[in-house]
Amino acid sequence: MDSEIFKAYDVRGIYPNEINEQAAYKIARAYCEFLIKEAESGGERSKLCVAVGCDVRLSSLSLKAAAIKGITDLDIKVIDIGMISTDMLYFAVANYGYNGGFTVTASHNPKEYNGAKFVREESKPISSDTGLFEIRDLALNYQLRTCLPVGKVTNYELNEENSKLVEKKDILDDYIAKIKTFADFSKFKRFKIVANPNFGVAGKNLDKILEGTGIEVIKINYEPDGNFPKGRPDPLIPENRREIAETIVKEKADFGVAWDADADRCFFFTEKGEFIEGYFITAFLAKIFLKKNPGACIIRDTRLTWAIDDIVKAAGGKSIGSKAGHAFIKERMRKENAVFGGEMSAHYYFKDYFYCDNGLVPLVMMLEFLSGQEKTLSAIMREMFWQKYFVSGEINNEVKDTAAVIQKAKVKYGDGEINEIDGVSVEYPDWRFNLRGSNTEPVIRLNVEAKSRDLMQQKRDELLGLIRS
């Protein structure tokens, strides 16, 4: 097992060289030992109950089986919640009161990757700051007596006692009922939408939640397929948006929606096929929440900020910046009792969803909002954002030393207002930028925003020159 698969807030590596069944067994066991330790430190030693799910990747079922063996070998009960979206894990643990849980997933990474995302009680995140590296150290030091076969879907011959510790549970109906609390479905117009789950599990969930609404769904890349036949299942990659954009225009749909493979991120497109940055959707949803919750707190990341801050200020709310990443955003939301949080990566977090992110809630909120409007989505976005805020979109560059690049930027733009919550952000009256290293890939990410398109493009190219020099 490669220690480098433990990232800032999850586990990810290439299967089977960096992560395999033996690693899954060790990690699951180490995770439970961590939970046991936490329970003992709090004066509780009752038997734990852990939820385990997985995504559609070809290696996920086998890795999940190995993980379940690791858990039951510790005489701990497992709730097997099957093939799920990551946000269904959060629902299961918090809604049913389990001690914790994890899902076997590598999110939007290419098909050769796999990994896991972990939570503890109440679906509180486990990050590098709150125990993930402790789990890493336990797993690395654990000696496995027998080797587990690679690539074979099996129950790993659980004995009779271990088998009694595994309960299979279908949580879909309860999960859908929770999503429906975020919108009044009786108000929905009979829209036509294009939906692209990118071969993940979002399609099954979408079909269930739209039953009886009369909404027409044009389906692309809809059936789960862990081969990801059209490449990396990530709508943030511009090339991956072309198909849905063209389909929206061809079908004369009202708008489009897409998800990454584990379906915890949600991406929107206008009726013209225009991609809407997660930055603007965060501001858009913040406005809706603040109308219902005057004076509430909104959490955002630091990559792009002006549109969110302006919307929140105008609505009388409070906007607070946080380091990007689901674990960090959730921790800050709990600390501030924030009603909503968002990232430009299209993760959206909700106080009433256990302070966790969800990929379907933004869609039902969008459907309710648009049902009360006469304007098209493109007209609304243009009026609210696109005529005022000009952004580069996130630009990724492979570099040998992200810290050195960030230091160069700090020196060159030292006369601006500098913030180092996440990487480095530098702000001037008419433009700003953020540079940060990825937590999962050897790249540096650039975002630029400005008061005019020409200035944004000028500063974008200037910074790209600095990064690539």
> Phi/psi class of residue 423: alpha, beta or left (left: φ > 0; alpha: ψ in -120 to 50)?
left
| Closest of 173, 158, 172, 175 to residue 77, by C-alpha | 158
Cα 360 to Cα 197, 210, 380, 389, distances in angstroms: 11, 11, 21, 27
For this structure, is 107 an active site residue? yes
Which spans in 108-171 are helix H? 132-141, 160-163
Asked whether 256 and 245 are in contact (CB, 8 A), the reply is yes
Quote the tokens at residue 99. 């001690």
- Report the alpha-carbon distance of residue 373 to residue 365 in Å, rounded: 13
Phi, psi for 218 (deg, rounded to 5): -90, 115
Quote the tokens at residue 267. 């991406």
For 72-196, list the strands marked E by DSSP.
Answer: 77-83, 100-104, 113-120, 166-168, 192-196
Peptide bond into 16 cis (omega under 30): yes
- Report the alpha-carbon distance of residue 118 to residue 129 in Å, rounded: 13
Asked whether 162 and 69 are in contact (CB, 8 A), the reply is yes
Which residues, in sequence order, are bridge partners of residue 301?
322
Q: Which of 107, 128, 322, 392 is catalytic?
A: 107
- Report the alpha-carbon distance of residue 439 to residue 443 in Å, rounded: 9
What residues act catalytically? 107
